[in-house]
Amino acid sequence: MTAPIGLIGLGNMGEPIGQRILQAGYPLRVWNRTAAKAEALVQAGATLAQSPAEAVEPGGIVLTMVSDDAALDRVTHGENGLLAKLGEGGIHISHSTVAASRALAMETAHEAVGATYLCAPVFGRPPTILAGKLAIALSGDPAAKKRVRPVLEAVSGKIVDFGETPGAANVVKLSGNFLIASAIESISEACALAEKSGVDRRQFIDLMASTLFECPVYQIYGTGIADRRYEPFGFRLSLGHKDVNLVLGAAADADVPMPVASLVHDRLLSLMNRGHGDLDWTAVDIGVSEDAGLGEK
């Protein structure tokens, strides 16, 4: 029988990843800090673990999808962490959006117990995952990547290999999220200009998203901004702020000026300080509208 796959972190993205793994026929063990979030996967056939370590098969494959660097450290290290149990021959696939510098420390820690750490951050939303169209940026050891390829293909429609450098895929993910955040700011500013000039903002976005910018970012986030639809969140504004912080950290490490990232960071921080951190990050539009004298709609 195929050894169970471990999955740690069952939030907005982790739960549908688990559904895809089960649909592909793999046995699955799952753990989440809030056990109730595992209910749908357990009903679909997964086994609920009582700790990150218990979700792991020695020498097997474990996937993590957690919110930030601190959460990744907590589930990896310590008495109930996954790493000691994973051991020789094990592979840890990290889908989380974390600092690129985190990957080097993780790789070193995994090598110390004979395991391998792969960076595999994702691009997509829950419906994308369920449709099998998630995109994965991948970096790390070639042999480990070959071994886990069938598991990744169970949840992804596109896997792009960015080589062996630790953290390369994390840089790709952070750069992609920076582009989304920048687009959200730009769309919000353009909608404010349109509205103050007497132009219907939804009509404006419908034109842009079907012509010059016919792409998911403008079609999904653009319509949300045009309609001032900030709930329910697809991606929480506070997590967007975390990611832009990581972008600026990577830019500092690489000596790359990123003035637009600094602007977006300040926008997100301002909105968080005003209590909007749990809204979708399209709520950037709230700040832009207020700056334009349109008020918070």
Catalytic residues: 173
- Following DSSP, what letter does each residue of 78-114 receive, concatenated? STT-HHHHH-TT-EEEE-S---HHHHHHHHHHHHHTT
Q: Give the Cβ contact number of residue 111 at 10 Å.
A: 12
Q: What is the spatial distance between Cα 28 and Cα 10, in angstroms, rounded to a whole number? A: 13
Q: What is the spatial distance between Cα 146 and Cα 159, in angstroms, rounded to a whole number? A: 12
Which residue(s) pair with 123 in the sheet?
135
pLDDT per residue rounded down to tens, the chain (297 residues): 578 999 999 999 999 999 999 999 999 999 999 999 999 999 999 999 999 999 999 999 999 999 999 999 999 997 799 998 999 999 999 999 999 999 999 999 999 999 999 999 999 999 999 999 999 999 999 999 999 999 999 999 999 999 999 899 999 999 999 999 999 999 999 999 999 999 999 999 999 999 999 999 999 999 999 999 999 888 999 999 999 999 999 999 999 999 999 999 999 999 999 999 999 999 999 999 999 999 765
Which residue(s) pair with 134 in the sheet?
156
Q: What is the spatial distance between Cα 101 and Cα 17, in angstroms, rounded to a whole number? A: 25
Domains in the chain (CATH in brackets) are 5-165 (3.40.50.720), 170-291 (1.10.1040.10)
Identify the CA nearest to 57 among candidates 65, 67, 47, 66.
47
Q: What is the spatial distance between Cα 39 and Cα 41, in angstroms, rounded to a whole number? A: 6
b/e map of 14-27 (b: 16 or more CB within 10 Å)?
Answer: bbbbbbbbbeeebe
The tokens describing 224, both together, are 């949300």
Identify the CA nearest to 2 among candidates 28, 41, 33, 31.
28
**HEC secondary structure over 257-274:** CCHHHHHHHHHHHHHHHC
SS3 of 148, please? helix
Q: What is the spatial distance between Cα 22 and Cα 97, in angstroms, rounded to a whole number? A: 23
**pTM, entire model:** 0.93
Q: Give the Cβ contact number of residue 143 at 10 Å.
A: 10
Q: What is the spatial distance between Cα 273 and Cα 198, in angstroms, rounded to a whole number? A: 31
